[in-house]
Amino acid sequence: MLYGFRDVYEGTRMATEEDLPGIRKIIWPLEDSGVLVRRTDEELLEALESFYVVERDGSIIACAALFPFPEEKSGEVAAIAVSEECRGRGQGDKLLDYIEKMALSLGLEKLFLLTTRTADWFVRRGFSECSIESIPEKRRKRINLSRGSKYYIKQLQPKHAGVTANNFVPR
Ligand SMILES: CC(C)(COP(=O)(O)OP(=O)(O)OC[C@H]1O[C@@H](n2cnc3c(N)ncnc32)[C@H](O)[C@@H]1OP(=O)(O)O)[C@@H](O)C(=O)NCCC(=O)NCCS
């Protein structure tokens, strides 16, 4: 979308291969510090079609992935991250809203995630801790138990998704 203020362009969209360097720049330090699971370039490329990015003036300032599990009407939010310079100004909020809206548009009814350190942020946004049984079985099998992640889930409510419609660009 276009922001009138100083003509700064900012928008949220699906990631493309050209965004890989920008995504890496944001998530690498978080992988190094153990906040995010390490992904090889190959894994990232494979998962790219599930990634969304926020671009501002040609730079990627935030990213997140939504992995749908249609059979369970559930989706995983993963690798949600805002570049360090842009944190604390609602970007994370906006991106999560976008992911929720996207999940709803895919017919999903709930979102889940695994986290080791960011639980409070998600709890303040309507997620609550759940047991591993709430995670779709296919995903459960791939969980790296040694990370000691906790599991969180949120039921999505179509009428109250809290999304500002103008940052939602369906494809
Ligand atoms: C978590 C993250 C995506 C939030 O994005 P953001 O744009 O900074 O968040 P917002 O501006 O929407 O919200 C900021 C609020 O969240 C709080 N917050 C930020 N990180 C937090 C964390 N790790 N745990 C709890 N609260 C956190 C801030 O203190 C702020 O609180 P306030 O509104 O009361 O001042 C961002 O901080 C980030 O990239 N963190 C590192 C990656 C990460 O932890 N990802 C989740 C992996 S499961």
Which residue segment(s) compose the domain that 136 sits in? 5-167
Report the alpha-carbon distance of residue 83 to residue 62 in Å, rounded.
6
Establish whether residue 118 lines the binding site of ligand 1, counting it when its CB lies within 6 angstroms of any ligand atom: yes
What's the CA gap between 164 and 126, in Å, rounded?
17
Q: How far is the CA of 27 from the centre of ligand 1 (A)?
A: 14
What is the number of structural domains in the chain? 1
Which pLDDT does position 158 carry in this prediction? Answer: 83
Task: Please give the structure tokens belonging to residue 106.
Answer: 């895919």
The whole-number mean pLDDT for each consecutive block of 10 residues of the chain, a chain of 171 residues, reads 62 96 97 95 96 96 98 98 97 97 97 97 98 97 95 88 48 44
Ligand 1 and 115: CB distance under 6 A: yes
Give the pLDDT confidence score for residue 164 in this predicted structure.
Answer: 47
Is the CB of residue 91 below 6 angstroms from any atom belonging to ligand 1?
yes
Q: Where are the alpha helices (DSSP H) in the chain?
A: 20-32, 41-47, 91-105, 119-123, 137-140
CATH code, domain with 163: 3.40.630.30
